[in-house]
């Protein structure tokens, strides 16, 4: 129920072989999110094997939705 009330944009990162977060549970949570704008990024590897490009993607996501110098607004 709580996840369905989340309606802000979401960029969701999943490490496919995450030892601490079972993939099926993570996918159920993503599906339950109420946001109309949600994106799932899935990568091979464990919890601490996040590819560097995902950090860059997160920075762009936050700049786009929270505002940032030199980042064009999507509105």
What are the pLDDT digits (tens) for 11-44? 999 999 999 999 999 999 999 999 999 999 999 9
Sign of CA dihedral 5, 2, 67, 49: negative
Give me the residue spans of the domains in the chain. Answer: 2-64
pLDDT band at 67 (very low <50, low <70, confident <90, very high): confident
- Contact at 8 Å (CB) between 37 and 44? no
Please, which residues have CB within 8 angstroms of residue 68's CB and are 6 or more apart in sequence?
62
Helices (H), 16-75: 23-32, 52-66
Instruction: With a cut of 60, say whether residue 70 has pLDDT above it.
Output: no
């Amino acid at each position: 129920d709580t996840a369905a009330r989340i309606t802000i944009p979401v960029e969701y990162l999943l490490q496919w072989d995450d030892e601490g977060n079972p993939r099926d549970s993570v996918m159920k949570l993503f599906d339950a999110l109420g946001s109309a704008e949600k994106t799932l990024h899935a990568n091979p590897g464990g919890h601490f094997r996040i590819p560097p490009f995902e950090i860059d993607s997160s920075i762009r996501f936050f700049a786009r939705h929270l505002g940032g110098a030199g980042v064009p607004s999507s509105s």
